[in-house]
Structure formats: C-alpha cells, structure tokens
Structure 1
Amino acid sequence: MSDSPHAQTGHRLEALLTAPGDEALEELLLWVLEGPVTGPAGTSPRTARLTLLAEGLRTHPRRMELEDRLRAAWTRGSLVRLLAETGLPVHSTLFKESFERLVDQLAPRLAPEDDLFVLVTRLPLTPADAEWVAALDDGALAPWTPLLAVPPETLLDAARLLGLRAAALGLGRDLLELFPGKAEATSPFFTLAGVIDRLAAAPQAVEAYVAWEAALATCRLHLAEAHERLDRRGVTTDLIFRLELLEAQLARLALLLTVATGRADGRRLAAELIGSAARQRGVRSLARNSMKRLAQKVTEHTAETGEHYQVASARAWDETSWSAAGGGAITALTALGKYAIGALPLAPLVAGLGYSLNYTISFWIMQLAHFTLASKQPAMTGAALAAALHREAGSAEEIEVVARITRSQVAATLGNVLSTIPVTCGLVLLAAWLSGEAPLSPETAEHTLHGMHPFLSLTIPYAILTGGMLWLASLAAGWSANWSAYRGLAPAIARHSRLRRLLGAEGAARVADFTARNLSGFAGYTVLGLLLGMVPVVCKFAGLPVEVRHVTLHAASLALAAGSLYGTPLFSWDAVAWGMVGIVLIGVCNIAVSFGLALRTAVRARDLDPAERRRLWRELRSAFRADPRRFLWRPAEGAAEGVA
C-alpha cells in the first residue's frame, strides 16, 4: 500500500536533513516539478504539491532544522553566480559558446559541489515552468518568502559583477570602432560600473536610482545606434552576438536592481531565471538570432545585385538578351575546355580542380565583360522579391517585380542557349577543318548525347542539385559583399599607403572601385566554379554517380556531342530532340530551385508573414492566367525604361 502524499512529503523532508550535498534538495525540486502545471477543472497539481510541501514543513517536528537547511542552501555564495550568469552566455563569441554548449550536451562536466547554478542547470526546466512561477498567487508563495527571499546585498553583488562584465564587453574594440572619432570615455559603458556601485552603496537613494535609470537608457540607445550602424556597413555574427549579450545583461541588471531596491518582488526575477535556464541548454536558439541577422544582411546585399536582373522594358530585354548571348559564347568555350580536361590522363582530384578552374576562369571573364549566365540570376532576384515584400509595396508592385524577374530569366536563358548552340557548332566545324577530326571521340559524344535524355537518365535530379549550387553561389556573393562592407574594404584599399605609393592616389582609387564593383561577383562565380567542378569528383570518391546539369552548359555539351556525331551512323535526331527537351526541363529546374531557395532564405531572414506570401501566390496565379505574355516575353515598346 503506497504512502499518502503527506507521508511522502515527510520522507522527502527527512532526507533533506540527512542526505549529503544537494541530492535531497534536487529530489525535492524534481518532485515538485513532476506535478502537472494544469489539471482537471482548472486546478494545478504542481501548486498543490508546493502547498503540501509548505504544510509538511510547518508541521514537521524538526521544522527549525529544516528551515535552517533550506536557508543555508539558498543563501550560499554560489547564489551570486546563479543570479548573474543563469541563462546568459559565458563566452563573448558565438562559436566558442555554441561549441561549449554542444560539448556539455555530449559529455558530462565535473562541476563544483553545492553550487546553486549547477543545481539549476541539472533540473529539467522548460519555459512553461517559468510561466507557472510567474502566475503563482500570493497565498502559495507566502510560506516560502521568509525562507527563499534573496538578501538585498546578494542581489547588489550580482548586479555589480554583471555591471563589470557588461562594461568590459561594451568597451570592446570592435564595438568602439562603430563610433569612429569618439573617445572611449564617451561610451556610456565607461561609467556603467561606477553608477551601479553608487546605487549599491545607497540602494534607497532616489538620486542614485535615477542616475542608474539614465545610464541604462543611455546604454540601450548606444546599442540601438550600434545596430543601425551595423545595418549600414555590414554585420558579423560575433559582433551581433555580443550586442545581443549586452542587451540581455542590461535587462538582467535592470531586474536585479529593481528587486534589490524594493521596487518589485522576486517573483518576476525567479521566473526570468527559470526561463533563462530552460533556454540556456539549446545551441539552435543561441545561434538563431545572430545567424538570422547575418542572413538578412547577406540577402540584402544579394537583393541589391538582384535589382539589376529585372527586365522592366523592351530595351532592358534586349540588353539582357545580348549580355546573355555573350555569356553563351563564353560557355561554348567552357564546354570545350571541360571535355579537353576530361580527355587528359589526370587523377580524379586533379581533374576536378581542372574542371573548377575552367569554370571559374570562364565565369570571371563573364563578370569582367558584363555578360550574363542564365539561372545564376534567380538566386539574386529571389532576395530582391523578398525585399519588395518586406517593404509592403502593394500587390501591383509585387506582381510587377515577379513579372520583371521571370522575363529576365526567359531573356537570359534564351540568350545563352540561342548563342551557345551555334557558337559550339562553329567550334566543331573549326576543329574539323583544322584537324580533320571532331572535337569529341565517337564514344564520348554518343555517351554524352544519350546521357542527356531527361527521362532515361538522372538529368532532372542533377538539374535540381545544380539549382542548389547556384543558390549557394549567390549566398557566397552576398556574404562577400557584407564582409567587404563591414571591413570598409574599398575605402581601405583607396587609402592603403603602399598601394598609393605604387600606383598613385588615382590608381589606388581605381583598384578600390574595381573591388567594390566586382568582389561579390568574383566570389559567387568562384564558389559556383568550385561546386560544379569538385562536387562530382568528391561524390565519385564516395561511390555516388553525381553530375551537374546547368542549362547553358548542357546546351553547349549537346551541341558539341551532336556536332561531333553529325554525319556518322551514331547520330540520332531523336536523341537530339530529347536533349532539347532536357534543356527546357533543366532550365526550369535550375531557375525554380535556385529562386525558391533564395526566396525562402530571404523570407525567413526578414520574418515575413506567411499569410502575405499566400496572398501573393494567389494573386500571381490570377495575373498569370490573365496575361501569360507579361511574365514570359519581351515587354511592349514604350513600357517603363530600365530595370527596377
């Protein structure tokens, strides 16, 4: 027969007197937490357990000893650590804090004995536990207030410790550099610790508390201005992490000093500590805000590039088509170089590096010549569409942005394909005229031609994978633009003393301008070249037959294979026709995947309303059904000039 609840409570209280260390205290807390927060008819079994425990303590024959034991456990020296550190990152860098939390989840750590901070971190706390504490009524708390009230001097010690840490963090060099020309002593964090010390010396002095409130407001304004300056120049995850840590430290300081000076009871502080302890275990939540800000900044830089890829007029359509035609001509040479490297007796890794170099050099030439590569645009334009949604520009403008984007994809793809096929055929004829042989051997050409069938090969999955590579390349371009802006790279190059001595002031300025205009493009194209060249090689090492399928490269390869086989028994118009179908499907997959991933990334980074996205999708379908040509073809003469 099981013991009654009163008997169970008595046993747990007896254990508290006899058990060494914090084991019995931890068991007691776990027993309370095991009770459900809500029960039938609006009751709270957990609150009932707390009340039962208080009653058991009141009627216990060794009540005074138990109260002394609880009071001693609660007011030990580690209480300062509990108040100042619970829920707040220990390290000032995101990587180090994330790594330590991850290791703590995988391997135990030998912690100091009788440490309240360690005890709380071992409890299975959740945000619901914090809500339960915040909602407790005075009747349930009254028996515990004399025992568990934190001494004001302990609260003030925790505030002084946290104030010193916040001041040191706020005076970090990277944060000070956001305010060039200002002396260190002008930072509000320079005097923060002194203000807290004066309040700790006279907690009831109105003037000291008013000075603290003014210092707190000034520090928060300083951090808000730091965020604004970061938004203008570019961000880093570590600096964002430190700014958010400072904001959390200031919030904890405000709470500690409010309770210490008697302006609030400890219930809100207890709920905050429990909620913070529940959040402290997670690695994902730790990185979420910092990574979101970085993603937002990267997509903003990507969107700035994407603005250049929106066809708003007939003239813009023609310009995009001619630019894409140049890109298609370069791609014909790229495809020829790819097969030339494949014919060499190279080790797989060396061949992969050769493919990557071939792609990257070709893409760099396109960047310098202002040519366009089809399906690289969508990843940029996805971020531009998200920017329009974020501005709440209105349905008409949002639909027009989508129409401009899709027109640019059609113009670029047609320009690439309609250029690369005849240029590649010309290269085949030139090779045959110069050497008397086709550029590809019959075996290679036949394998290439039949491997392009969209349904009898893995062409479509490969095209989807390539769309993901295009998206990653756009992220690299956006990240490099953010990095350059954060470092002030272009102005730094223009002022670089050795470069100015070597090239003169005007030469250094030209290098800076070239860097500002081309760095992100070079970075994106370099990453794309490495992915296209190395991913198949790396997958081959793992036994995975992965290939890339880019619409323009596919068209050039198709023309190269068909041209090499033309006039031989191995040539097949059916295979060529299916290859042309494959071009269309590859283009759709490349564009849809890269655009979709970029849009999703930008939407998540900007916290856009899902309802607004659904509304836009409905209106887009209606607009497309009403006028498909608006989305797929050259605008009429007289339409708005330029690109958005």
Structure 2
Amino acid sequence: MLDHSSDLRHILQYISLLQELPEPSSLKRFIDALRVTSDDEEAVNAKIRELIDILKENPKYGAGLAAFILRLTDNYQRITLYADTGIISDDSFSHSINRLIGHRFLPLLPKEDSVVELAHHLFDGATDEKWLSLITPEHWDELVELIKVDEQNLELVASAKNSILNALVILSYRISGIGLHTEMMDTYPQVLNYTAAFVAQNQETVLFVNQYRQSHNLDAMTDTMPDVDIDPAPLLVMLEQCQDIVDNIRKRVYKTGISIRMTNMLVRLEQSIHRMHILLELVSDKNKNRDKAIVELTQEIVRTAKTRYSFGYLIKNNTRLLSRKITENSGQVGEHYISTDKLGYKKMYKKAAIGGFLIAFMATLKILGSSLVLAPIGKAFMNSMIYGLGFVGIHIAGGTVATKQPAMTAAAIASTISEGSSKKKQLTKLAELVVDIMRTQFIAIVGNISIAMPIALLIAFGWVQFYGETMISTEKAAYLLHELDPLRSLSLPHAAIAGVFLFLSGLISGYYDNLAAFNKIGERVKRHHLLARLMPQSWQNRLGSFVEANLGAIMGNFIFGCFLGSTATIGYMLGLPLDIRHIAFASANLVHGLFFLSPDDLTWQLALYAFVGVLLIGMVNLIVSFSLSLMIALRSKEVHFSQWKDLGELMFKHLITHPRDFFIPRNESVKYARIDSEGRIIYDDNVKETAIPSGSVVRRLGNKKADPLKDIQNAVNVAKTDLSQGTLNKVKQDDKPIEAGEMGLDMNSETNAKNPLPKPDKPPQLPK
C-alpha cells in the first residue's frame, strides 16, 4: 500500500510540474495506477480514498491535475464531445452494421482530434467502464471538489465554458429541428399547436449563451464571476415544455402508433434535452448537481470510447429501440393475460374453455392429416393452416390459448418496474405481478385441458361408433404417448421452442397493433372504394373497426400457428430434431393415445407418467415465454435490473407462506397504478399544456379569438379607404356608417363581441 501510495503521489507531482506541457502518457500512468481489474467494490473505493487523501494533503496537486486535463483536452474537438457523445445517431441500422463490417476488413480512420480517441487511449482496460461505475457517489463528490483550477488558469475555464456554450447552441438547434420535423408533424398533427416551445427554447438558449458569455467576460478568455449570475431558469422551463411534448406524444402512442424512425427521433430528442440539462449544470450549477453532471459525462465518454466499434453494443441499442417501439404500443383491444381479482379469474377460465374446445378439434385434424401422403412443403402448409386458422377462430370466438405472453404483459411488467421511488417497493410490486401472471396462466391451462381432454375423448369415442374402426393405429397411439415422455424423448426442448414462438407471437401482435394505429388501417378500410360496392356502409364501418381493434391479435395468432405448423418440416429439411410441444395440444394427444393404445399396453402408471409429461410441457412453455417477455420489457424501458436473486427469494417466500395465491385469487387483489383487473394498461391521456413566453417569435397555432364587430368595422374602413383612392364606384347611398343589423348580425344573439365565434374541433367531413 505504501509503495502504491508513493507511486500515485509521484505521478501527481509529475503532472503538476508539467501542467504547462500536457501529454497523454502521464495521464495514462495516473489512470493505470487507479485501475482495479476485479469487480471488488471495496478495492476500487480504497484506491479512490487514497487519491482523495493525497489531494487533501496537497491541494496544488488537484489544481495541477485540473489544469493538465483542461490543457490536454483543449487540443481536441470538445464541442462534438459535449454535443454528440452518448447521443444516438440518425444512421439506419443497415448503414451502421455495414460500416462496422467494413471496419473489420479495412479499419476506419480514427478522428485524431476527438476526445473519444483520447479516452480510448487512456482507458484501454477491458474493465474500465465497470470499475468506474463501482466508485461511490460520495467519493465522486469529494474528488470533483478537489480537482479544480486555481485563479491563475481561468483562461482554461473560459475556453472550456465557451465550448460548452457552443454545444448548447448546437443542441438547441437540433432539438428545434427534430421537434419541427415533417414526419413528427405529419404523424402527430397536434404538435403543430406546440411548435412554439421548440422555437422558444432556441431563443432562450441563444439569449442565455450571449448573456452568460458577456457577464463572465469569456470573450476576453477569462472567467469573471458577476455579482448576480445569469439565471438559466427560463431556458430550463422551455426544456421542460419540450420534454412535456415528448411525454404527451408517448401517451398517445397506443392510439396513434409509432414508426422505428419516429422512435429514434423521440429518443434523440430526449437525450439532447437531457444533455442540455447536464451542460447547463456544468456552467451554472443551478440545481447544485455539477458534480453529478461531470461524473455522468465522464462515464459516457468512457462508454462511447469502449463501444463505438462494437457489434454487440450496436445490436443491443437497436434491439432496445425495437422493443421499446413494440411494448409502447400494446394494443387498444386484444388479448389480456393478467387477472387481479375473482371476476377476471372466472372470465379467463371461460375464455380458456372456449380455446380448449376448439383445440380438441384442431389436434384431431392434425392427427388425421398426418396420415396423408404429402410433400414436406405441403405438410407444413396443411399444419400451418390448421394451427393458424384455428388460433384465429379461437380469438374471434372469444377464447384464449394458455401460456401466451403478448406484448401487453411485457408493457405491464415494464410499467411496474420503471415506476416507483423505492427499489424495494418496485421489487415487491413486480413479485406480486408475477404471482398474478402465474395464477392467470394456471387457470388458463386448467381451462384449456379440462375441456380439450373430454372433448377429445368424445371425438375418439364418436369416431369409433360412427365409422366402426379406430381413428389411428396402435403404433400411432404409442408414438403420441412417446412424444409426451419427458425423459426418453425431446418433448421438453420442443416445449421450449414452442415457448419462444409464444413469446414471438406476442411481439407480432404488438407490432401489428402498432401498424394498424400508425397507418390508420381501420379508417382506410372504412373508405375502401371496392368494399363500398360489395357491402353496405354500416357493414364496412364495422369491418374497419374490427380490423383496427383485432389486427394485432389475428396476425399474432395466425403467424404463431404458422410457426408451430412448419417447425417440424423445417427440422426435417435441415436434418435437425426440431418440433414443438404445447400443453393444450399435448393434452388432446394424450387422450387419443390412451384411447387407441392396445389394451395390453395400457396401464395406470403409463397414463400418469404421460400426464406428468403434459404438465412439464406446460411448465416449460410458461417459463420460456414469460422469461423472454420479462427480458424484452426490461430492455424496452432501459431498466438495469440486477436483483434476480432478491426477486427469486420474494417469490419463494410467497410460495411458502401463501401457496394458494399461485392458484386461487386473493380475497383482496393487489392494485397496480397502471393495470386494471383484466390486465389492460390504464393510459393517461391528460395532455400537459405548454406555456410559451410572451417574447416568442412563434405563436401557438389555432385558438384564434374572433371579434365580429371589429372585423366588420375593419372591412368598412378598408372600403372607405378604397373609395377615397377611387377604387370603389359605389357605396351605400346615404353614406352612413354600416350598422351591424344591416350586415345580418343579431346584437342580441349569443354571437357577439363578448362571445367569440365557435371554432370547429376538426375539418368538415368530405364526401366519400
């Protein structure tokens, strides 16, 4: 420890002496001395504590280190550092991936004047981002307070502040550009009423920058502190208004839909607004968060330096963007898989019973179809249609299929995790939600198999009575039972594949719900000219409403069916043991297998073993689909959830103390802030009004107050002016002032100067 302390002290002394001639190698030695390669938080903070003690003993070391860093970074482009680092680009995914592929074959030229290149050189350890994140906030606060330049080097502060102010102006113009982008206005016409906020923040930014630069005398390359510093409050208010607009747009996503490009624009808008907050803290320290701003910016620089050429980071960012797009639109109507009370519990059983009834017939059709001699593609098509059309029929009939985890569930999970002030409270709510999901899935499974099995038995019995022969051979029956064997077959891996497809079907449902809203599919169906010739207008309107409300569920179910129906064929063509197992179909196959099995081979042990296999298939279906839904929910909200062990302990404790909650609804259900008793997200449609400063060059569009008498008098004055100029040949013969009554205006009516003319809420309906 003494040797290390002496080495660190020597490095700081060397940096302090050479602060006039900064070079990267000395700073790299300093960072190497602080680096801890393990994940030992105590070791990391012990080194930082040692550094803090040295700086407290020798304040000149802190001032020298600050001057050294500022002089070194002054040789690089700092404006792009402040304005670009950590903010996602506008490049498409394909362009970015092609760029990185090209980099692997012919490396891209480094930007020698970029601070990120400097950071890449300084932080060249594989664990640098990790050990920086392990430093406690208290140590960061002490460290930032100790590393400050003295009054002899105020020109360095002035140079840094000028760069920050220039970056503020650049970010401000970018925010205005995104906020006034054509696609945003086309997609969300209501934004037109709030465009003044984006322009006003730009005005406030330019005003703040000019006043700050003048009051601090930055043009003279010094930093003079005025008696009363420039208050950034007006600018912060306008940035808050811009953020409110983004929040308002997100609240309406479930109705309007959203594109990948629009999602990207909103994320860039939020990141740019947040970066302006950070930069304002750096120059003004308005909310006493300058230390946090420095730390956050430093960590962002290191993260960018480590990940700029990473395929994994690029894919991670884009999948987060995609998952956010999908989960933000979780469907206005559709399938809901969370019940929090007894009424929802009973409704789920009824829906699952309908699904079980139809699944029994679907499983029978698939068994009969397997005896047909078809080409592999033909067999895949037949099975896909049986599954796909069957699932669509179940949805239209009001039924459901057990273990499905649609995007609605992911959105519900995300809303529970991301809201709440306490991590412990969030974790407890998440555990309760998981219990509700498990209980709902349990009753859905019971509803499916409790109806599918007896209906399958009736079908098998009716077939024998009607045709006088067995539906399948004893060999086929034995094979059906073998497919359920959890030990001597691949039933559980196949169940995991079905779980992945169950999860994907939920994302597909969310995607098509979003597509229907974003492209206004329902309204377009209502206006379709060909359909207007084929059906009455009332039918066409009902069809449009149905498509808009159910397109996601229909497409999710149909594509899910195609997944299930074609997996075995794809496995056969590739020579891989691919297939699917789903608990509802497995239960129907169990009945057919036992019914048509040879009596000599049928035992109660075999029946029990096969039934246990069915239950294990259902458990794997549920675990895989739910785990993937939880993952996509966390990714969509950018929640770094690491308390898996704590969540598992809470779940286990709940299972031990209240096991019935996993199977039977509680007397008093848990209330969630954004989830109703049937699992639907409760959306907040309250739109925040934006207050625009009086000096804004752009006014709020619309809401014009009309004054009829004033307008009439203005018209008269114009007419008189035109008459005096010889442009009118004739006016009223008595040349008296025109009265309101002569213009058809009833002064006693409600439409007068005190009551402005009514403004229509929307344009008049055009003829179809």
Q: Is the shorter-chain TM-score for this pair beyond 0.5, marking a shared fold?
A: yes
Q: Out of 76-85 and 610-619, give the one that drifted further.
A: 610-619
Contact 1:149 1:266 in 2 (8 A): no
Is 1:149 paired with 2:157?
Answer: yes
The separation in 2 between residues aligned to 1:212 and 1:389, in whole angstroms, is 33
The separation in 2 between residues aligned to 1:41 and 1:404, in whole angstroms, is 50
1:443 Cα shift? Answer: 5.1
Match of 1:513 in 2: 545
Is 1:252 paired with 2:252?
Answer: no
The separation in 1 between residues aligned to 2:274 and 2:432, in whole angstroms, is 43
Which aligned pairs between 1:308-323 and structure 2 lie closer than 5 A? 312=343, 316=347, 319-320=350-351, 323=354
The separation in 2 between residues aligned to 1:596 and 1:71, in whole angstroms, is 48
Tell me the TM-score normalized by structure 1: 0.74
The separation in 2 between residues aligned to 1:463 and 1:181, in whole angstroms, is 47
Match of 1:370 in 2: 398
Contact 1:334 1:359 in 2 (8 A): no
Is 1:463 paired with 2:468?
Answer: no
Q: Measured at CA, do residues 122 and 259 of structure 1 come closer, stay the same or move farther in structure 2, by a change above 3 Å?
A: same
Q: Measured at CA, do residues 561 and 140 of structure 1 come closer, stay the same or move farther in structure 2, by a change above 3 Å?
A: closer
User: Quick one: which of 247, 270, 295 aligns to 1:224?
Assistant: 247
Is 1:551 paired with 2:583?
Answer: yes
Tell me the TM-score normalized by structure 2: 0.64
Which aligned pairs between 1:127-138 and structure 2 lie closer than 5 A? 127-128=132-133, 135-136=142-143
Is 1:418 paired with 2:460?
Answer: no
Percent identity between the aligned chains? 18
Gaps of 5+ in 2: 1-5, 35-43, 216-228, 308-312, 420-427, 667-676, 680-768
Q: Which amino acid aligns with 1:170?
A: G
1:524 Cα shift? Answer: 2.2
Contact 2:492 2:617 in 1 (8 A): yes
Contact 1:417 1:555 in 2 (8 A): yes
Q: Measured at CA, do residues 274 and 229 of structure 1 come closer, stay the same or move farther in structure 2, by a change above 3 Å?
A: same
Q: Out of 7-16 and 580-589, give the one that drifted further.
A: 7-16
Deviations 1:279-311 (A, max 9, x none): 334427745864664464366879962258987
Match of 1:639 in 2: none
Which aligned pairs between 1:274-293 and structure 2 lie closer than 5 A? 274-280=298-304, 281-282=306-307, 283=313, 286=317, 290=321, 293=324
The separation in 2 between residues aligned to 1:576 and 1:404, in whole angstroms, is 27
The separation in 2 between residues aligned to 1:31 and 1:319, in whole angstroms, is 69
User: Quick one: which of 352, 355, 359 aligns to 2:387?
Assistant: 359
Match of 1:32 in 2: 30
Is 1:330 paired with 2:361?
Answer: yes
Q: Measured at CA, do residues 417 and 359 of structure 1 come closer, stay the same or move farther in structure 2, by a change above 3 Å?
A: same
1:587 Cα shift? Answer: 3.9
1:110 Cα shift? Answer: 0.5
Gaps of 5+ in 1: 19-23, 59-66, 633-641
Is 1:533 paired with 2:565?
Answer: yes
Match of 2:516 in 1: 484
1:614 Cα shift? Answer: 5.1
Contact 2:254 2:517 in 1 (8 A): no
Q: Measured at CA, do residues 107 and 222 of structure 1 come closer, stay the same or move farther in structure 2, by a change above 3 Å?
A: farther
1:276 Cα shift? Answer: 1.6
Is 1:273 paired with 2:297?
Answer: yes
For the residue of structure 2 that corresponds to 1:202, the secondary structure is helix
Match of 1:637 in 2: none
The separation in 1 between residues aligned to 2:442 and 2:408, in whole angstroms, is 9
1:269 Cα shift? Answer: 5.7
Deviations 1:180-212 (A, max 9, x none): 245377342234434433444433478995653
Match of 2:674 in 1: none
Q: Out of 456-465 and 44-53, give the one that drifted further.
A: 44-53
Q: Measured at CA, do residues 338 and 108 of structure 1 come closer, stay the same or move farther in structure 2, by a change above 3 Å?
A: farther
1:387 Cα shift? Answer: 8.9
1:419 Cα shift? Answer: 0.9
1:76 Cα shift? Answer: 4.5
Q: Out of 258-267 and 270-279, give the one that drifted further.
A: 258-267
User: Quick one: which of 358, 368, 375 aligns to 1:346?
Assistant: 375
Is 1:158 paired with 2:181?
Answer: no
For the residue of structure 1 that corresponds to 2:23, the secondary structure is helix
Q: Which amino acid aligns with 1:344?
A: V
Which aligned pairs between 1:64-79 and structure 2 lie closer than 5 A? 74-76=73-75, 78-79=77-78
Match of 2:525 in 1: 493
The separation in 1 between residues aligned to 2:626 and 2:657, in whole angstroms, is 20
Is 1:44 paired with 2:51?
Answer: yes
1:329 Cα shift? Answer: 3.9
Contact 2:62 2:147 in 1 (8 A): no
Deviations 1:316-363 (A, max 9, x none): 5884475145313432443235414xx42414x554344323321222
Q: Which amino acid aligns with 2:558?
A: T
Match of 2:111 in 1: 112
1:77 Cα shift? Answer: 6.8
1:30 Cα shift? Answer: 1.2
1:416 Cα shift? Answer: 1.4
Q: CA RMSD in A?
A: 5.2
Match of 2:181 in 1: 172
Match of 2:442 in 1: 406
Q: Measured at CA, do residues 394 and 77 of structure 1 come closer, stay the same or move farther in structure 2, by a change above 3 Å?
A: closer
Deviations 1:530-552 (A, max 9, x none): 32223333344554323322233
Q: Measured at CA, do residues 173 and 192 of structure 1 come closer, stay the same or move farther in structure 2, by a change above 3 Å?
A: same
The separation in 1 between residues aligned to 2:375 and 2:47, in whole angstroms, is 74
The separation in 2 between residues aligned to 1:556 and 1:185, in whole angstroms, is 58
For the residue of structure 2 that corresponds to 1:305, the secondary structure is coil
The separation in 1 between residues aligned to 2:384 and 2:300, in whole angstroms, is 48
1:414 Cα shift? Answer: 0.7
Which aligned pairs between 1:53-72 and structure 2 lie closer than 5 A? none
Q: Measured at CA, do residues 367 and 33 of structure 1 come closer, stay the same or move farther in structure 2, by a change above 3 Å?
A: same
Contact 1:379 1:474 in 2 (8 A): yes
Contact 1:299 1:602 in 2 (8 A): no
Q: Which amino acid aligns with 2:302?
A: A
The separation in 1 between residues aligned to 2:594 and 2:69, in whole angstroms, is 86
Q: Measured at CA, do residues 166 and 331 of structure 1 come closer, stay the same or move farther in structure 2, by a change above 3 Å?
A: same
Q: Out of 403-412 and 441-450, give the one that drifted further.
A: 441-450
Deviations 1:471-521 (A, max 9, x none): 332333234334434444334433556655664542331222221343222
For the residue of structure 1 that corresponds to 2:177, the secondary structure is helix
1:224 Cα shift? Answer: 2.6
Q: Measured at CA, do residues 251 and 103 of structure 1 come closer, stay the same or move farther in structure 2, by a change above 3 Å?
A: farther
Match of 1:306 in 2: 337
Contact 1:536 1:546 in 2 (8 A): yes
Contact 1:477 1:523 in 2 (8 A): yes
Q: Out of 513-522 and 179-188, give the one that drifted further.
A: 179-188
The separation in 2 between residues aligned to 1:170 and 1:288, in whole angstroms, is 24
1:256 Cα shift? Answer: 3.5
The separation in 1 between residues aligned to 2:118 and 2:17, in whole angstroms, is 20
Q: Which amino acid aligns with 1:216?
A: L
Q: Which amino acid aligns with 1:346?
A: A
Q: Which amino acid aligns with 1:157?
A: N
The separation in 2 between residues aligned to 1:224 and 1:231, in whole angstroms, is 13
Q: Measured at CA, do residues 421 and 460 of structure 1 come closer, stay the same or move farther in structure 2, by a change above 3 Å?
A: farther
The separation in 2 between residues aligned to 1:35 and 1:248, in whole angstroms, is 33
